[in-house]
Homo-oligomer: A and B are copies of this chain.
Amino acid sequence: MPAVLNRADPRLLDAERLIQQRLGDRRLDFDSMLAVSNIYRAATAVRRRAEKGVLSEFGLSWGGFTTLWVLWVWGEMQTADLAEECDLSKGTLTGVVKTLERRGFVKRSQVASDRRRVTVALTDAGIDTIEGLFPRFNLYEGEMVRELSITEKQTLAELLRRVIVTADAP
């Protein structure tokens, strides 16, 4: 997990040796460690980059963008479905939607047939925003993986997909 594990310098070997020393006889699964820690570091780097670049111009966080995007593609949704599709807890989604509502990007409506339920939909301003933003965001995504060939992007996505399935399994 620390930055040093990915530097192409002798400290990497130092780090591995130090870790093994701390561990004594216990065995160390270095390949798994590096794979998992790189997933996390890549996600952090990619998210920070997006939020500082494209997203900040539109006053959106990563979660806010995701929510807007899902609503744009799928249209008006009930909050429970929206939370699942955005991979957020329902409590978190309440807050994200509240922020988006304050910014004027979405609106809530109560469902007549079941008054516990609430749907969320984009406003016109929300539609304008996501339509202006998404092409730029997609370019940014391309930038983030510009060192990878198409095949490598697909490999990366597929390997990650298998990790997601494993980690999400009950």
Restricting to A63-93, which residues have a CB under 8 Å from any CB of B?
A: 66, 69-70, 72-74, 84-87
Known interface pairs A135-B26, A141-B29, A153-B35; A159-B163 also in contact (CB < 8 Å): no
- Are B46 and A141 in touch, CB under 8 angstroms? no
Q: In this complex, which of A35, A38, A47 has the most chain B Cβ atoms within 10 angstroms of its Cβ? A: A35
Restricting to A125-157, which residues have a CB under 8 Å from any CB of B?
A: 131, 134-135, 138-139, 141-148, 150, 152-157
**Pick from B2, B85, B135, B163: contact of A70, CB under 8 Å:** B2
Closest chain-B Cβ to A35's Cβ sits at a distance in Å of: 4
Measured CB to CB, the nearest residue on chain B to A44 is B87
Closest chain-B Cβ to A55's Cβ sits at a distance in Å of: 13
| A interface residues, tally (CB under 8 Å) | 73
Question: Does A1 count as interface, using CB distance less than 8 angstroms?
Answer: yes
Chain A residues with CB under 8 Å of chain B are 1-4, 6, 15, 18-19, 22-23, 26, 28-29, 31-49, 62, 66, 69-70, 72-74, 84-87, 131, 134-135, 138-139, 141-148, 150, 152-157, 159-168
